[in-house]
Structures are given as C-alpha cells and as structure tokens.
Amino acid sequence: MLTARTLIEAQVYESVMTAADDSLPSVPPLGPKSGVNVDEGETAWTFHSTVGDIEIPYVSEDASRKLGLPFGLGVSTLLDAAQWAVLAATFGRRALNADLAYTGQPGQDRYLVELNWEYAAYAVREALKFLPDDAEKVPDSAIWSEFGRQALVDSPELVHRGKLVDDLEYYEGTLSDFRALYGPSVD
C-alpha cells in the first residue's frame, strides 16, 4: 500500500495522478472525508482514492500539523522531485491569477491567494529535499515517474538548484508583498 506523510499529500498525489492518467476520471477527485473514503485504523488512516488505497500514519500527520508542514516531514515517496517542481508552478499560476483578480474589496476570497502562494513555496521546498547539499541538480534517481521524466525533457532546468531557489524566493517574496499591500489576514 502507498504511504503519504499527510492527508494533504495523499490528496495532492491523487490529483497529480488523475491529471496525468487519461484513463482515470476527469472529474476532480473527492478529497479525504472520514466515513466516506477514509477509514480509521489503529495507527493510520486509509484513504480510498481513485488511484488506490493510501495509508497516512497518525504520527506523521500530527507532527506535520504541529510544524506547519502541509505535505509532511522528510522526503516524499509518492511524488518525485520533478512532480513537486511542476506542482509548484501550478500553484504559482493559480496564485498569480487569484492575486491579479484580488482588489481587497469585501467579499473577495483572500485565502485562495495566500494559500496558493504558500503551497507553491512548500512544493518547491519538497523538490529541494531531493537535492543533495553539494549538487547543482536533483539526481536522476529522484525522478521516477513518467510524468516527472517528461517534465524534465520539456524543461531541462526544472530541478536545478538555481531555478528552484529562484522560484522559492519569487513565491515567498510575492506572498510577502501581497501581505504588505493588504495587511495581515483576518481570521
């Protein structure tokens, strides 16, 4: 059985796999919902996704929540470095579109702007976890999916240190600028 570090990582994995496989449903997958497609076990949840069952250990989810890491601690075993880099760009595009549409007027959804900038930065950090300290690019062994290999063919610099660091600085900086312009979030 596949293992995710968090419920969010399991849901992101399902979305990536659904988008990358034409044989799977074209409707957005149902996220994890207790009693619907998530069973509680002794030490973990089992998420019954459209791409198969995924186990999420309670201890991993708990530690990740406490540390504010939506995708989890350690290195992903579900998504490879190139998939994370592509996800970062996807979240970045969503954030930019929402950011450009946001004017600060009452009733507008500021949360989506901030969440997508945050997730873009987190996804880059996930790709960076595959990068050895002394390397300029992610090793080939860190790209195991067909989707990731094709993304690398399409964009050879995708998982190079310089690009990932630049992307991270852009996403974090743009989020910071957005918050400076509109003030702190009101919960």
Residues 149 and 175 in one domain: yes
Q: Which residues 6+ apart lie within 8 Å of 187 measured at CB? A: none
**pTM over cut 0.85:** yes
Render pLDDT for 63-89 as a digit per residue (tens, 0 to 9).
Answer: 999 999 999 999 999 999 999 999 999
Q: What's phi and psi for 49, nearest 5 deg? A: -95, 170
Q: Is residue 187 part of a domain?
A: no
Q: Are 21 and 50 in a shared domain?
A: yes
Shared domain check, 102 and 31? no
Residues 101 and 174 in one domain: yes
CB neighbourhood size of 155 (10 A): 15
Residue range 17-67, pLDDT digits in tens: 887 555 444 445 566 777 778 899 999 999 999 889 999 999 999 999 999
* Structural domain boundaries enclosing 12: 2-67
100 shares a domain with 53: no
Domain end among 23, 39, 67: 67
- Same-domain status, 60 and 85: no
